[in-house]
Amino acid sequence: MHHPGPPRFTATGRTLELAPTDPDPEATYRWRVETAPLTSRASVDDDPVEFIVPDVPGTYVVELDAPDGTHRQTIRAFPGDLAPAGGAGGVSGASGFASGSTRPTGESGGVGGSGSGAGSGGSGGGRPRIQLHGAVEGDEVVVRADPQPNPNSDRPRGSLDVEFLVDDRDDLGGRDVTIDGWELRVPVSKLPKLARVHAVAVGESYSVPDSVAVERGEITSSGRVDAEGHSSADADANVSVVRLNEPPEWSTEATLYEIYVRGFASDDEESDNTFEALTKRLDYLDELGVDCLWLTPVLQNDDAPHGYNITDFFSIAEDLGTRDDYEAFVDAAHDRGMKVLFDLVLNHSARQHPFFEDAYRNPESEYYDWYEWQESGEPGTYFDWEKIANFDFTNLEVRRHLLDAADTWAEIADGFRCDMAWAVSRPFWTELRERLKARDPEFLLLDETIPYVADFHDLAFDMHFDTTLYFTLRQVGRGVEPAEAILDAVEQRTEVGFPDHASFMLYLENHDETRYVVECGDAEAYAAGAALFTLPGVPMLYGGQELGQRGRRDALAWGHANEELRDHYESLIEARNETDALRYDGEFSRVDYESESDRVVAFAREDGQRYVVALNFGAEPAPVEFGPSVENRDVVSGEALEADERGLYVDHVAVLPVGE
Q: Is 66 exposed, middle or buried (0-12, 13-18, 19+ CB in 10 A)?
A: buried
Catalytic residue among 419, 455, 458, 634: 419
Q: Which of 6, 19, 469 is nearest to 245 (CA)?
A: 6
Q: Pick the closest to residue 280 from 583, 556, 83 (CA basis).
A: 556
DSSP state of 248: P
Q: What's at 236, amino acid-wise?
A: D
- What residues are paired with 26 via a beta bridge? none
Q: How many CB atoms lie within 10 A of CB 402?
A: 21
3-class secondary-structure state, position 410: helix
Give catalytic status of residue 140 as yes or no. Answer: no
- Among candidate residues 215, 325, 448, 458, the one labeled active-site is 448
Which positions ≥6 away from 528 have C-beta within 8 Å? 473, 476, 477, 508, 516, 520, 617
What are the distances in angstroms from CA 83 to CA 89, 119, 153?
Answer: 10, 9, 16
CB contact set of 334 (below 8 Å; sequence gap of 6+)? 340
List Cβ neighbours of 480 (8 Å cut-off, separation of 6 or more).
Answer: none
Q: How many whole angstroms separate alpha carbon 468 and alpha carbon 494?
A: 12
- The DSSP string of 383-430 is TT-SSEEEB-TT-HHHHHHHHHHHHHHHTT-SEEEEETGGGS-HHHHH
Cα separation, 396 vs 399, in Å, equals 5
* Spatial CA neighbour of 92 closest among 188, 29, 17, 157: 17
Instruction: Give the pairing type, strands 140-148 and 161-166.
Output: unpaired
Instruction: Give CA–CA dist 474/73, Å, rounded.
Output: 44
Q: Which amino acid is at 203?
A: G
Q: Is 434 a catalytic residue?
A: no
Please give the positions annotated as active site: 419, 448
